[in-house]
Amino acid sequence: MRLLFLGDMVGKTGRTAVWDRLPGLISDLKLDFVIVNGENAAGGFGITEDIFLETINAGADVVTTGNHVWDQKEAVAFAGRNDQFLRPANYPQGTPGRGSGLFYARNGARVLVANVMGRVFMHPELDDPFKAAETILDACPLKEQADAIIFDFHAEATSEKQCFGHFVDGRASFVVGTHTHVPTADHQILNGGTAYLSDAGMCGDYDSSLGMDKEEPLNRFISKMPKGRMEAATGPATICGVGVEISDATGLAEKIAPLRLGPRLSETIPEFWR
């Protein structure tokens, strides 16, 4: 199975770049399944239902989120009526929406996608992500109820992300980190066969501070005083993500490599998809 994960869409420039390029990527690379993190798609803070639906229409099979999931008030309402929209699974019981789901890939494979949020340097501090993952895996084991299992681990600390990867190694197909908006270079297949990347990066303007116009963040570092609101940067976006090939026989990863398309970072498409 060929899976593509795209990191956090930031603002209009990030989301429109994904919408423009994703249909062609699905066709050209013969992708079976696509996941996009959309939690910063609405002006850098949260996501609206229209943006979510447009992302699905562009070809995403699932849209994941993170700590900004509720920044747009309408998300509380639409989270419960859209199965392809995931919020972190370790929110308390009774939170609108859901944190995981079983979906069908274009090749017919059953794909379990789970969205979990870390707790180190993260707000709000949610329930134990490791316990949440254990519950998800117990309910839908790899190669029993699911042909592939993907975790979007939305977290700040790379140590927490790495430990989470080792925790589910051999029981999940792929663990990808989101939240920091900076792509890491540690893509690998862990000892048990789980593909891992600490952070997929963002889909947004990299002439910025994490996708936000750089002037106000820079001012706050220097003066310690806000001058205005944070605004999403509006320059040309670079799409950042990661491609994974998953064995149909074992549900574990066989190949992993970054995908980057745009003006700022060196463009790369996984060699095994060329």
Known binding positions for Fe cation: 8, 39-40, 67, 154, 179, 181
**In contact, 116 and 165? CB cutoff 8 Å:** no
Render 119-173 in DSSP notation, one character per residue. -TT-SS--S-HHHHHHHHHHHS-BTTTBSEEEEEEE-S-HHHHHHHHHHHBTTBS
**In contact, 106 and 32? CB cutoff 8 Å:** yes
* Catalytic positions, written as ranges: 68
Element (H, E) at 110: strand 110-117
**Tally of CA atoms within 13 A in the half-sphere of 192 that contains its CB:** 15
Q: Which two tokens stand for residue 127?
A: 């329930």
Report in angstroms the alpha-carbon separations of 81 from 51, 77, 104, 160, 201: 15, 8, 18, 31, 28
